[in-house]
Structure 1
Amino acid sequence: MIDFNSISDDTTIQRAAPTSGRAQCEGADMKKQNARQAVVKPEIEAANPMMEMVWRLERLERQVQRLSELVRNHAEDNDRLVRIVAEDRDVIRRELLRKHEHRVRVRKHLRDVSSKVDLEH
């Protein structure tokens, strides 16, 4: 889930003071949907850009890891659904085949009975 409400994660915020009383974060105002606590960026001013770069890199690595988990879970769910559909199709196919074979047997039996009746008369 994306946390749009956290100002500390917004990498586009300017370091200058806000202008003309506008809110600093104009993004979507959504409640946090995941159970994890938001990782708060250390309050280090632009005096140490290397620390900020390290923080951003670590944050990106966490996001990639979480995205990988979500993709893996989605693939597992998709595989389960494909298996369920395949099993359902197989059951339906077997049932249709059974009904068809039954009809063929009935027709064959009726032909045999009909031909015997014709031979007797």
Structure 2
Amino acid sequence: MVYKEMRKLDKTAELLNILSMYPERELIFMYPNEGSDHPYTLGYPSRILIDSYITLNDRVWLFNEEKDELFEEIADSVAEDLYTEFPLTNDQSAFVEKQAKKKIESLAWKKAIVVYIKY
């Protein structure tokens, strides 16, 4: 039990330090989407990241943490918008990748301190 309490204090100290280093960043919290019978649940910081985020289609995407998955999703969308026959040729795939990268770079990413909460 003592170790768990010390870890909570370590994460709190880490968060305070990061907040003082990056005061211009938005502070956001990520927590498991688990149903509860209660309006609030007690939780503690378990992981803290300095990243950028965007919300697309009701999902929060983190730039550094999920860039590969986001790239795949956007590339698939671009490919479906442009082509009707699959698999794509090498030239078509290269074009889709270029368009997906442009789209990701053009998104309005918000700088944030991301705090994962553990119950």
Q: Is the TM-score greater than 0.5?
A: no
Normalising TM by the smaller chain, what interval? under 0.3
Larger-gyration structure (1/2): 1
Higher share of residues assigned strand: 2
Higher share of residues assigned helix: 1
The one of the two structures with greater contact order (alpha-carbon pairs below 8 A, sep at least 6) is 2
- TM-score, L = length of structure 2: 0.25
